Amino acid sequence: MALLVTVVSSSRARLFACIPRLGFQQAGPLQLHTGASCTAKNYYEVLVLGGGSGGITMASRMKSKVGAENVAIVEPSERHFYQPIWTLVGAGAKQLSSSGRPTASVIPSGIEWIQARVTELSPDKNCIYIDNGKQISYKYLIIALGIQLDYHKIKGLPEGFDYPKIGSNYSVKTVEKTWKALQDFKEGNAIFTFPNTPVKCAGAPQKIMYLSEAYFRKTGKRSKANIIFNTSLGAIFGVKKYADALQEIIQERNLTVNYKQNLIEVRADKQEAVFENLDKPGETQVISYEMLHVTPPMSSPDVLKMSPVSDAAGWVDVDKETLQHKKYPNVFGIGDCTNLPTSKTAAAVGLLSCSFSQFQYDGYTSCPLVTSYNRVILAEFDYKGQPLETFPFNQGKERLSMYFMKADLMPFLYWNVMLRGYWGGPAFLRKLFHLGMS
């Protein structure tokens, strides 16, 4: 899943300003890669790959620059989801139906929606290919293909989701199974996992743990629940200020955290989870569960893994300050599919699409850490892992106001403001606030 909260996080600031500078009138010193010309219906000045939060937001912005008829979005899905809310869906605090709308309803008016899957990128020819074999050419390409969920890399999944007691907030197909497992919990281990790969919204795997603990307290089951967070990481959070706050919560609520533990197998028929000790490869531990929440391994989309636009690891290779491709100057990448050294969340697309070129992207990332049904710690930080907070109070504390922002305000802003290209992101507001106070 993705804004001040987790609507789009891992910001990309000067992209919007860079495209006009490259020259809808003149390319300047950065010459575009030339390719064969195409008929009008097979060519767009701006072609956006991906109809998620980043793709829709950037298409909205580009529409105002080059005209709707010159922009197209390639996206196969019939429905568009606001995925950050799935944390609350998995905890029974929101309905899944509230998280999705028809893709057609969020495509900016006048922009062509090409309902297809991208099968190949050919940046040397300034074109891409889609699943019906058609070639589409572009002047500028924006890659916003997101991140791929690899449940199949865990032995026993995804077929294990056919059994009870197991769920995952990362998929529309499994998020309601989390809520069912939570409701059906009787006594035993409630296990929450974090994989040994990059993930989108790295706070989400532990948010559902805190919510589950609160639910167990609310329903009188807490004394019967042994809550375990098995993470492949070596720390609870990458920014010390927020890690310290979370450690206090972990101690106060008697939660067990095991580091360097990676889920490698689920035996759903026996309600067993198998973990490998990353400090001692090959050493495994089998733990029985009454409830299991799985955060899947993730990777770049298959279409990008061997693409010329990607680095050796398969991520779109962009400049971390401009989001411009390092080799192809008319190609830009945004969101989770890029190799930016930020957490892969949802709060940065808003800033990314800001048209104020003097605002250089500093790696701003936002992660609203839901710690109960009415509390959130709003973590905001930069490339260096330093707090980069929006509000004039300590965001390292649990706050009711931040929960309301996460649960109610951000979804409203997402559907009605950000996707329409009007939202400059929380970091933009922060900068304005600082300018106003100076």
Active site residues: 201, 367
Query: Which one, of 143, 80, 154, 136, lies nearest residue 303 by Cα?
Result: 143
Bond preceding residue 158 cis, omega within 30 of 0: yes
Instruction: Name residue 296's amino acid.
Output: P
Contact, 200 vs 344, CB < 8 A? yes
Q: What is the 3-state secondary structure (H, E, C) of 281-305?
A: CCCEEEEECCEEECCCCEECCHHHH
Selection from 275, 196, 192 nearest residue 229 by Cα: 192
The rounded Cα 291 to chain-centroid distance in angstroms is 25
| Cα–Cα distance, 435 to 438 (Å, whole number) | 5
Rounded (5°) CA angle 133-138-143: 85
